[in-house]
Structure 1
Amino acid sequence: MHGHASQKRRLLATTTLAGLMVATLAAPVMAQETPEEPGFFTMLGRLVFGAGSERVAIDVPQAVTVLNQDDIDREQATTVGDVLERIPGVTTVGSESRWGESFNIRGIGGGGSADEPRIIMQIDGVGKYYEQYRMGSLFSEPEFLKRVEVLRGPSSSTLYGSGAIAGVIAMETVDASDVIEEEGDTFALRQRLQFSDNGNGRLSSSLLAFAPNDQFEALFGYTWRDSDIAESGNGTPLHGTEGISRGLLAKAAYSFGGAHSVEMSYLRDDSSINDQPYNLVDATTTWGTVDRDIQDSTAIFLYNFNPEDNDLINLDAQLSYAETAVDMEDAQGTFIPPADYAYETVTLKLENRAEWSGANFENYLTAGFSVAEQDRRAEEITGGTGFSYHPEGTARTTSIYAQNELIFDDRFTIITGLRADHQKMTPGPLVPTINETSDTAYAANLALHYAFDNGWAAFGSASYTERLPVLDEIYDTRATSGGATDAALGTLRAETSRNFELGAAWSGEQLFNDDDSLSFKGVVFSNDLSDQIARNNAGTAVGAISPTYINLGSNRISGVELEASYETEAFFGSLAYTHLTSTNADYELPADAMQLSLGTRLPDQNLEFGWSVALVEGASDGTPGYGVHDAYALWKPDQGLMDGVGVRLGVSNLFDKQYRSNLQSSQTSRIGRTVSLTLTKTF
């Protein structure tokens, strides 16, 4: 099967290139601000910025879910995973610790070593990456997020990176204009206080915004979050949930000359967790304990040139710096030598968005180039030089990409894209006999969408992407249970994904009364995976060596995703369902799940009530199914002493259910009943 890979790659690339030529090349423009919407979860009808012209999610040929500020606030989240849990096809894995959490999209991603590159995560367009044995992959404060977009499947690889076999999680931080609520105001302070009874969780969040004119705005934010140890439904302590976090966000934007603008931002999260499990993924103390200081930083400088008289030029030049560092000390009882780990990435990206139109068409073109250099550091606390099983090294990735969106008669959309990522890796001093390795990965995408007159639309896509091995997979020499101890070096091939999707959507208004609307979207997909990379636990020989990582055979993950939402002035509801299957019986997939949310609003009393339930089937490994209920009430008084104060009372796991997902270790479980009270006031 592998012998045909290059031939199929050339055929798919040729087909997509032909599509690009027919479509005249192009791609997405950034959508404008999402209009203010009610504070409940709605999966359809949102603007998306990853799919070209300004569209709602129901009108794009891809499985996309967009959450806005109200959706994020509704969850009273302590982690990004809390925000994503209700999205079809998305599962959080790991423990309840915010430092032991990773993600799974459409069955890909398990929280283990090297899972992270299969899911691309970005904050304000900057890639976030962290991989360490028995820790999570993303440490970010959800209070600073105003928008999260999840693009499921590899169709987004042409824009975000050829490694997005599972999909993309794109996050956007709040701006000053989001905090200033009253028209004509130039200054605003938004203060939020939150308390949760399970673990005595406390949060203080402050956002200070200043916008003296249309040219300049600035924002400063600070959060403080503290928690004791939380408990599961049966009262078992959930190790790793206690700790202190401090978050900082500083942003400024200035536009001048009519066509120029600059933006600068700095985002930082500092956490201190003492006497916590070394194994935060399972949150068990059987691996010993350690004190950790975790720092996560993102700095951005962005210049935009967008002349009003030339629609072919909308150029972004972005220089960014991202670092995630974990420092350890006072290790007790751990059999793995503790160390300080860090990833540091500097990226320069140039991207232009062009648009033009004719009598019956619109065209949007995005073309870009980027260079990123990532340094991986590991230093033993005891004074050693590093680890063979967490090898230091540098990876430099040079990328070029283009994607086009062509729309005929505001009805028929063709999206085509190509991408190439060239990667050169240089190992640290513990990898002998070789200086560097290099390879190139490719991605291609073709998507079609047709809208009928009766509210129905049909869409489909075909995509191909490759994921290159990471430093761990090439240079790791840690002995496996089967005795493999060699660095894989040049024996590893890139993972490949060939994904096909078909879907239909429908939306209508005034169905049962004058102010209601109903939307539905369904997708079926098949993702053929080849050369998946895994640890060589059997000690299989590849040529003259027995590498610690090898390529496996093929696997097909297929699935169905359904989303629906209904809304009137006084009532709202949403439904999501996910079903996945795999041709590899040993490949563990998330269990089938359905999410149902219902709510009502009482406008005269400024009240809103909501209820939701997650119904998850039992898994083939024996993990029992479960049903977990949440409820909330929101009150926004408009007079008296409480005028302008938002009061939100939420109860998660209403019936104190003891449960875990089948992707979690049997050593951990989900959090028990938690009552959270949030007070928000903008001055």
Structure 2
Amino acid sequence: MNYKKTGVLLLFLGFSSYAQQPPVQENEIEDSEKSHTSSKSTTKNNKDVTDVITVIADTSSSEQLTKINSVIAGRSTLSSSLIEQKQADNVAELLNTLPGVSMTGSMRPNGQSINIWGFSKVEDVKIIVDGAQKGFQKYQQGSIFVEPELLKQIEVNKGPHDVKFGNGGFGGVIRMETKDAIDLLDPGRLVGGLIKYSFHSNNHQNMTTGSVYGRTEDDRFDGMVYYTNRNSGNFKRPDGSRFMFSQDDMDSYMAKLNFRPNEEQTFTISGVQSKRDSWQPWAAKYVEKMTPPTKDQIRKYGYKGAWLRKLVKRDQTDTSAQFKWNYQPTYNPLIDLTFHATYSKTKQHDTRPKKYNPPIAIGTMGNESWVSYTDKTYEIENTSAFTTGILDHKLLIGSQIHLHDRDTLMYYQKYANKPNYNGGYFQPAYMPSGTQRTYSFYIEDQLSVNNIVLTPSLRYDYVRNHGKRNYAKAYNDPNPLFGHNYSPVTYSGWTPRFGSYWQATKNIGFFGDVSYAWRAPTIDENYEVQITPTNGGSGKISATSRHLDKERDLSIRIGNMLDYSDLLFDNDKLQIRTTLFKQRVTDEIFITRGYQGTICGPGKNCPLGQSNYHNNPGQKVIKGLELESYYDSRYWFASASYSIQKGRRDVTAQAPWLKKRNYVASIAPRTATFTTGFKIPEWNFKAGWNAQFVRKQDRNKNKHINPDYYGLPASSGYTLHNLFASYQPTYLPRAEIRFSVDNLFNKDYRLYLGENTYGMGRNIKASLLIKF
């Protein structure tokens, strides 16, 4: 990338916008990972100056300097006010406006994943809800099913620079935190509740929410229960047509209890569950316009039956829970101990209507299927604060256990009488069952001296993958020639990281990170197979991939922050952040498939039993530039951002023997966003305009890659305009009205990372919240 024309010129003049209000970073420089801190709501609450990127530490205060490091400086955080203003249908829609972050998939329920810096695989973008890792990797499905209404904050850490996360996460980590009773209670009140109603015009969505919450007078206990129902029809495209069978009906429940037996300890127990039950296409992410049934099909099955035979009846439940204990003695800075145990499970049950004789295929998991992904984590860590000579230390030592289990099963009636297919019940060959066990240790020392913070860290991960033997002998052939080997394989290694933060002046700070991370193969990548010649296959690409090496990622990030106040008006604030990044991946894991009739190259005779995945030679390099800024004053606010990414491979992933460079298809288009608006504090009123400018993406064209499999169709550029407003009537101080319009001019556009699926047409949103 040519940074001479853009990077140098704009190094101190970057702009940023996060949808309809800029996201916060930290209103005060604090490590928001501690539940005790967050539940006490120590964050500054000034409604005239809100939603800033970050607050740079005061160089005169060494105590404040120890509360910031390079990871915090580069972090983006969506505040509760922005989450509420956006009134999003899903979490991916919320994050889509952050620079470097894009939604993949479609607007269909269950159909969204996240792309950060060109990394879009589930294993490359870690999803965390109240500390619980979400590991849903089902083929052609989304990965985020959390109800946005339950969230008070979303943190996005881009790149693999956080020592608390290993084995993947090359794109970054998305950490979501649900609401607490303390966040909702008015000052001085012990008990409260709320009711909320929202309406979206595009899909005629009705959403109802109710909650009750409270605390004891001594603040020892606080707790809440929360419920929301989202019910809608089909989404409308800009051309007026509908996303058939994109309707939604989701119930979400949450309960949370905090207990503080004394000032030194905090216990937190919480649980979140969402349930969906709907008819939809099997592939939630990429099915666009469905082919209508023919007249003969309608005559035979009836109009409704002719449509339903194309769909699955999907029951989905997504659950997460946590137990957290924090112990921090008042007079012992060497102990800040936290134990955290979490549980997460996502399961789907798909059935097809037998009476309508639906078209059935193994590739879409047959007549009926069951999948469940379960993640359990156990973590203990301690932070010690101490001084040696001129250095202030913040030493973090921790250990983690992550247990991932995935169970898959399908019923394929066509094979019910075939002994090699276990009466039709077996695991899909492309989605095997298995377990992954990860045991980790990490240490990080945050050293502060004068106006510099250095953060060296080291992490060790041991990963053990174990595939489960398929019930079908066709995918469990004992002949070693075909490589159906489900035995365990292990990976281990160190991840060194080094971060730095320099407070050059009171208003200027610089940060940088270097990380050398790694990722073990997933269960799919290790244990996917194909049938052997005994069962009608070719046997050319039939083997598991136990030989795979782990991927490695050398990631570099540098940035600059500017922080000014009292520029044009009293108490106004201007913040600017510029970030340059580069990621170099080696031994990239990629699926093995033939190209132009050959697997190993022209004239080469590949032996039978080739593995389903391989490590690509050469490098995959992704680099980019992000510019962000935010201005806020008592009566006016504005923000803007710009993001550009480029990515290439040294070889063609599908045919590495070609040794031809090609573009990385998962690179998001160049994007700029702008926001401006005004406030009338005396009326508790705020309104504004937001625009997103997306360039065309045509760099995916390459004759050395098969676009039907691994490329993405080119997309045209587009501009979207949005409006938003919020109002708290002075005569009804416990009520709040929000209003917004997405895609104001009903622009017809296609989502590049959604494989050219249509975007959503104009959507008018309104909500009314009343507290009591």
Q: CA deviation at 1:543?
A: 8.4
The answer to whether structure 1 residue 427 and structure 2 residue 472 are counterparts is: no
Q: Aligned pairs, how many?
A: 642
1:83 equivalent in alignment to 2:148:
no
1:279 alignment partner, SS class:
coil
Deviates more, 1:437-446 or 1:89-98: 437-446
Measured in 2, the distance between the counterparts of 1:223 and 1:645 equals 18
Q: Which 4+ runs in 1 deviate beyond 6 A? A: 52-59, 479-483
Q: CA deviation at 1:40?
A: 10
Q: Is the 8 A contact 1:45 1:57 kept in 2?
A: no
- The residue that corresponds to 2:281 in the other structure is 277
Give, in angstroms, the shift of residue 249 of structure 1.
Answer: 0.4
- 8 Å contact 1:269–1:295 — kept in the other structure? yes
How far residue 327 of structure 1 moved from its aligned partner, in angstroms, is 0.7
Change (3 A) 1:653 1:677: same
Distance in 1 (alpha carbons) for counterparts of 2:68 and 2:680: 28
Could you tell me which residue of structure 1 aligns to residue 322 of structure 2? 300
Q: Deviations over 1:114-145 (max 9, x none)?
A: x1011111011111110111110111111111
Is residue 160 from structure 1 mapped to residue 174 from structure 2 by the alignment? no
Report the alpha carbon displacement of residue 473 of structure 1 after superposing the two structures with TM: 0.3
String of CA shifts for 1:325-365, please: whole Å, max 9, x gaps: 01111253342214111111222111112222468543212
Letter in 2 for 1:489: S
Of 108, 116, 134, the residue aligned with 1:128 is 134
Note the alpha carbon deviations across 1:198-229, whole angstroms, 9 max, x for none.
11111111221110131111110011110100
Q: Show the counterpart of 2:295.
A: none
Q: Which moved more, 1:33-42 or 1:222-231?
A: 33-42
Aligned mate of 1:228, from 227, 233, 253: 233
| Worse-superposed segment, 587-596 or 28-37 | 28-37
Distance 1:62 1:661, change over 3 A: farther
2:726 counterpart residue number: 634
Judging changes above 3 Å, is the alpha-carbon distance between structure 1 residues 44 and 363 closer, same or farther for their aligned structure 2 residues?
A: same
Separation of aligned partners in 2, 1:56 and 1:304: 18
Does the 8 Å contact 2:166/2:518 carry over to 1?
A: no
The answer as to 2:260 corresponding to 1:255 is yes
* 1:479-516 superposed Cα distances (whole Å, 9 cap, x missing partner): 79997533343321111110112221111112223232
Rounded to whole Å, the distance in 1 between the matches of 2:333 and 2:341 is 24
Partner of 2:432: 391
1:361-376, aligned counterparts within 5 Å? Answer: 361-376=391-406
Q: Structure 1 residues 496, 406: closer, same or farther in 2, change over 3 A? A: same
Question: What residue in structure 1 maps to residue 764 of structure 2?
Answer: 675
Match of 2:11 in 1: none
Aligned residue in 1 for 2:648? 583
Q: SS state of the match for residue 363, structure 1?
A: strand
Structure 2 Cα separation of the partners of residues 661 and 58 of structure 1: 35
* Structure 2 residue identity aligned to 1:378: T
Contact 2:469–2:486 (CA<8 Å) still a contact in 1? no
Contact 2:66 2:453 in 1 (8 A): no
Q: Assess if the C-alpha contact under 8 Å between 2:721 and 2:745 holds in 1.
A: yes
SS of aligned partner of 1:81: helix
Structural mapping, 1:636-675, within 5 Å: 636-639=728-731, 642-666=732-756, 668-675=757-764
Give, as a single letter, the amino acid of the residue that structure 2 aligns with 1:212.
T
* Matched residue, 2:44: 35
Pick from 444, 463, 466 the counterpart of residue 515 of structure 2: 463
Aligned equivalents of 2:490, 2:426: Cα separation in 1? 25
Structure whose residues are more often strand by fraction: 1
Distance 2:244 2:252 in 1: 22
Q: Quick one: distance in 2 between partners of 1:669 and 1:268?
A: 30
Q: Which amino acid aligns with 1:385?
A: F
- Distance in 2 between residues matched to 1:643 and 1:262, nearest whole Å: 33
Aligned to 1:507: 563
- Paired with 1:225 and 1:169, the residues of 2 have a C-alpha distance of 23
Given candidates 438, 444, 447, the residue that maps to 1:406 is: 447
User: Is 1:378 the counterpart of 2:408 in the alignment?
Assistant: yes
User: Which structure 1 residue ranges, 5 or more long, are not aligned?
Assistant: 1-26, 110-114
- Cα deviation for residue 664 of structure 1 reads 1.5
With over 3 angstroms needed to count, the CA separation of the structure-2 counterparts of 1:281 and 1:29, relative to structure 1, is closer
Query: What is the match of residue 14 of structure 1?
Result: none
2:546 paired residue number: 490
Counterpart position of 1:207? 211
Aligned with 2:692 (options 585, 608, 614) = 614
> What TM-score, normalized to structure 1?
0.89
Match of 2:157 in 1: 151
Residues 131 and 444 (structure 1), Cα distance of their counterparts in 2 relative to 1, 3 Å cut: same
Partner SS for 1:493: coil
Against the structure 1 CA distance between its residues 486 and 436, is the aligned structure 2 distance closer, same or farther, given a 3 Å change threshold? same
The range that moved more, 440-449 or 356-365, is 356-365
> Does 1:104 find its partner at 2:115?
yes
Identify if the C-alpha distance between structure 1 residues 56 and 577 changes in structure 2 by more than 3 Å, giving closer, same or farther: farther
Query: 1:279 and 1:309, CA in 2 relative to 1: closer, same or farther beyond 3 A?
Result: same
Contact kept in structure 1, 2:540 and 2:607, CA below 8 Å: no
Q: Give the structure 2 partner of residue 449 of structure 1.
A: 501
1: CA distance between counterparts of 2:80 and 2:56?
13
Report the Cα distance in structure 1 between the residues aligned to 2:70 and 2:675, rounded to whole angstroms.
Answer: 23
Query: Computing the radius of gyration over CA atoms, which structure comes out larger, 1 or 2?
Result: 2
CA separation in 1, counterparts of 2:67 and 2:83? 19
In structure 2, what is the Cα distance between the partners aligned to 1:124 and 1:302? 10
Offset, 1:404: 2.0
Q: Is the Cα–Cα contact under 8 Å of residues 206 and 232 in structure 2 kept in the other structure?
A: yes
Q: TM-score by structure 2 length?
A: 0.79
Alignment of 1:565 onto 2:637: no
The amino acid of 2:130's aligned partner reads: D
Task: Name the CA distance, whole Å, in 2 between partners of 1:630 and 1:348.
Answer: 43
Instruction: Say whether 1:596 aligns with 2:626.
Output: no
Residues of 1 paired with 2:96 and 2:770: CA distance? 27
Aligned to 2:85: 74
Moved more, 461-470 or 38-47: 38-47
Aligned-residue CA RMSD (Å): 2.6
How many percent identity over aligned positions? 24
Question: Structure 1 residues 191, 484: closer, same or farther in 2, change over 3 A?
Answer: farther
> Quick one: distance in 2 between partners of 1:433 and 1:170?
36
Unaligned runs of 5+ in 2: 1-30, 58-62, 292-308, 413-423, 471-475, 477-483, 601-605, 650-661, 701-713
